[in-house]
């Protein structure tokens, strides 16, 4: 099965299924010399961990990281980093009724059509449980980027019909940390949580939108014409389970603007550099970063697994009715936030290494910055 590796220089090859023994991965392309903080990686896994709140799946996984290779005395050696996160709360018998039934809008039918076999236990390889590997690889990439002064922060800008008044604009990072669902507005946050709880009680699910900001990327990162920064960023984001849409900068709103409204005028800085008066471009022009903040949004559909009865068919083509009884999230928010950050970190580091914007070795002075 191809398609399990992402990246050109900083690469992740992930493996594992939702109810298999473990989720894991092999990360290649890590520059040597980084004093890796496993505590920082574990914090990101905790943000994504199931069972952490009453608006998430009740599946209770500790998600404890095991690093198998690529470190010597806690420092990256440049060798591939192999890791595991074992599945501790798998209950495959809960999915026995799905062995011959295709869940609507899920990957069941398409995987069966493509491979002739599928793991029906929680979705198997197509499950969002695979995101564990992405969070680990992204958390490691974020530590490299932090040495270059680059930060990545995602927040919830929409759940269903509830949304921030200016959902495309960046928000201060501390606000995200204060919110249990990553919404910068405390009042809106409570409404969002109530909406998710109501949706869950109804046996249904609901979608949301995540806004993400990348700060500190220098100008000149990106490889036109087919590897534009935003093109690769869209690829990474749209590979996330349940992602249905991507836009950066003003996105689709740019289609209704005039050039005089949308253009970002250049200005000199006090330090002798160049900046823009506005940032409608979202930090990217001509597929190359211009040094301004990169901001983008990802839309996520409602989780397709719901307990409301739905019409479907069996693998033999017989009509049937399905009311899912397994453990599932009523909304991708907030557990997808660290996944969006992770994919953005992996892409940014990969393209910086590709364009020689990041050293292949890290100095002792850089290590001490952690």
How far apart CA 351 and CA 229 sit, in angstroms, is 8
Q: What are phi and psi of 287, to 5 degrees?
A: 80, 5
Buried b (16+ CB within 10 A) or exposed e, 178-206: ebebbbbbeebbeebbebbeebbeeeebb
Q: From first to last of the 370 residues of the chain, give the pLDDT tens digit.
A: 789 999 999 999 999 998 889 999 999 999 999 999 999 999 999 999 876 677 877 767 789 999 999 999 999 999 999 999 999 876 666 677 788 899 999 999 999 999 999 888 878 889 899 999 999 999 999 999 999 999 999 999 999 999 998 766 666 656 656 678 999 999 999 999 999 999 999 999 999 999 999 999 999 999 999 999 999 999 999 999 999 999 999 999 999 999 999 999 999 999 999 999 999 999 999 999 999 999 999 999 999 989 899 999 999 999 999 887 666 789 999 999 999 999 999 999 999 999 999 887 775 444 433 3
pTM summary value? 0.93
Torsion sign (Cα): 99, 104, 109, 111: negative
Length of the chain: 370
Buried b (16+ CB within 10 A) or exposed e, 312-325: beeeeeeeeebebe
pLDDT of residue 366: 42
Which residues have a Cβ under 8 Å from the Cβ of 238 and sit 6 or more positions away? 246
Bridge partners of 151?
215
Instruction: Kindly report each contact of residues 363-370 with a partner whose C-beta sits within 8 Å and lies 24 or more positions away, as own/partner.
Output: 363/33, 364/33, 366/33, 366/147, 367/33, 367/34, 367/35, 367/75, 369/146, 369/147, 370/34, 370/35, 370/37, 370/143, 370/146, 370/147
How far apart CA 211 and CA 104 sit, in angstroms, is 28
Q: Where are the domains of the chain?
A: 5-357
pLDDT of residue 154: 95
pLDDT of residue 95: 73
CATH superfamily membership of 5-357: Chorismate synthase AroC (3.60.150.10)
pLDDT of residue 247: 98
């Amino acid at each position: 099965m191809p398609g399990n590796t992402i990246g050109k220089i900083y690469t992740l090859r992930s493996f594992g299924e939702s109810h298999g023994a473990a989720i894991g991965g092999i990360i290649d392309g890590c520059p040597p010399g980084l004093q890796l903080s496993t505590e920082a990686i574990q914090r990101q896994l905790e943000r994504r961990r199931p069972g952490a709140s009453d608006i998430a799946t009740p599946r209770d996984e500790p998600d404890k990281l095991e690093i198998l290779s690529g470190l010597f005395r806690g420092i990256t050696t440049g060798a591939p980093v192999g890791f595991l996160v074992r599945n501790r709360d798998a209950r495959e018998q809960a999915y026995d009724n799905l062995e011959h039934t295709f869940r609507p809008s899920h990957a069941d039918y398409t995987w069966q059509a493509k491979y002739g076999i599928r793991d029906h236990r929680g979705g198997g390889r197509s499950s969002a449980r695979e995101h564990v590997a992405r969070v680990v690889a992204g958390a490691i990439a974020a530590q490299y980027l932090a040495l270059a002064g680059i930060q990545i922060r995602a927040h919830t800008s929409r759940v269903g019909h509830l949304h921030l008044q200016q959902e495309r604009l960046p928000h201060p990072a501390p606000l995200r940390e204060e919110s249990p669902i990553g919404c910068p507005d405390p009042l809106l946050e409570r409404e969002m949580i109530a909406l998710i709880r109501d949706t869950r009680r109804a046996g249904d699910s609901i979608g949301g939108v995540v806004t993400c900001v990348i700060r500190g990327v220098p100008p000149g990162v990106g490889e036109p014409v087919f590897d534009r920064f935003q093109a690769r960023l869209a690829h990474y984001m749209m590979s996330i389970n349940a992602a249905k849409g991507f836009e950066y900068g003003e996105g689709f709103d740019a289609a209704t603007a005039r050039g005089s409204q949308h253009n970002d005028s250049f200005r000199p800085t006090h330090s002798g550099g160049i900046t823009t008066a506005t940032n409608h471009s979202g930090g990217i022009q001509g597929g190359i970063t211009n040094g301004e903040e990169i901001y983008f949004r990802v839309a996520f559909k409602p989780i397709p697994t719901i307990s409301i009865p739905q019409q479907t068919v069996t693998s033999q083509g017989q009509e049937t009715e399905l009311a899912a009884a397994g453990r599932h999230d009523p909304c991708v928010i907030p557990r997808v936030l660290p996944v969006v950050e992770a994919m953005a970190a992996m892409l940014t580091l990969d393209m910086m290494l590709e364009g020689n914007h990041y050293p292949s070795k890290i100095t002792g002075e850089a290590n001490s910055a952690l």
